[in-house]
Amino acid sequence: MSTPWLHVIGIGEDGVEALPATHRALIAGAELVVGGTRHLALAAPLVTGRTLAWPHPLADGIAGLLGWRGRPVCVLASGDPFLFGIASTLHRHVPMGEMACLPALSSVALACNLLGWAEQEITLLSLCGRPMEATAPALQPGGRLVVLSADEHTPRTFAHWLDTRGFGDSTLHILGRLGGGRQTRRSARVTEIARAGGLDIPRLNLMAIEVVATRDARVIPLACGLPDDMFDHDGQITKREIRAATLSALAPRRGEVLWDIGAGSGSISIEWMLRHPANRAIAVEKSAARRARITHNALNLGVPALQVAAGEAPACIAQMQADGLPAPDAIFLGGGISNPGMLEAAWRALRPGGRLVANAVTLESEASVMAARTRWGGTLTRMQVERLEPIGRFHAFRPGMTVTSYAVTRTEDTP
């Protein structure tokens, strides 16, 4: 269409009076105006057509809106509609040629200008429909976070969680109704807010955090190879040094999918997802107790979106394909390598350009990866790590099990 039928208009706390005349005219001329109850109330003086408040679930409202395709429709949103807003959802159904987005100042821009923070240097997160544990990787000493709140209870709940993780000395700014005449600001140490009672916080608020970590704070390192004791495990874990080398061979890139077969504690999947927020992983483990540990570890280390599945290799691979799960860009085999058909099933599941890494510790699994290298090429690396341990009054280096790591990239011409 040459002219968009759908306009998504951002409104600030200062209401429709602060909108340009062109934006107000679009609202007044719309046959349908859609938004939250608060947005519709702000725009009420301009609306001449029908109104639709977003229902629950929101998807029902999208279907109704699409029935007006080709007729003038306005969707109202807070601030910048493409910033954790409705515009991203609408764009999955309506191409940009049919819709135009007209943003107001975002709450993030208002917060940064109020505090004197450079927007490009902050980390932006949201707790709207997301667990607070997802913020854990961003809690780096000296960092500045802007976190969108779900409601008036979010700041105190979040402050309590931060305090328990050792970030109680951080400064927390709670900013409410930004851009309006009733704008509020409360700044205090995280510990003080966590323990305060009767906080009068507007429902519409965001938090700005200046991160300070105590000596014992649970800071998630930015490097591969997290300490083993950061994971709850029963001994079934790819050890730190081997894990760092394994992640290097898996070579994660933005937005890629990993299948972690025989996931144990989930350490490989978790570190894969920590490399970039858009990365996804499916951890497959036959033990119910270990699956519970993987879920716990993923939440504790800030990647609650890790998908955990039950299955035994190699049958689980065919089942994952039958279930229509996203095809893997990389597969890690931490066990079951010598099972008949295991390597072949993983190889067939890989998309062209995908990477397969298999860590063998037994003679049988080592023989399997050596045969695979003869067939498909790739590299074999033998690794052994020795750690210093006490022996009575003395100390000695105790060697861990030797790991033979097979890494190969599937090209389009390899069968």
Residue numbers of the chain with a pLDDT score lower than 70: 1-2, 413
Q: Which two tokens stand for residue 371?
A: 């045969």
| 301 secondary structure, DSSP code | T
Cβ contact 284:316 at 8 Å: yes
Beta strand ranges found along 234-287 (DSSP E): 257-261, 280-284
**pLDDT given for residue 41 in this prediction:** 94
Give the integer Cα–Cα distance in Å for 228 and 46: 60
Cβ contact 222:140 at 8 Å: yes
| 81 secondary structure, DSSP code | T
**pLDDT given for residue 412 in this prediction:** 75
Domains of the chain, start order = 6-104 (3.40.1010.10), 108-210 (3.30.950.10), 228-409 (3.40.50.150)
**pLDDT given for residue 2 in this prediction:** 67
**Measured CA distances, 282 to 310, 337, 377, 405 (Å):** 10, 18, 26, 21
| Dihedral of alpha carbons 70, 76, 77, 83, sign | positive
Short-list 276, 284, 275, CA closest to 320: 284
Those residues whose C-beta lies under 8 Å from the C-beta of residue 290, and which sit 6 or more positions away, are 234, 236, 263, 264, 265
Can you give the length of the chain in residues? 415
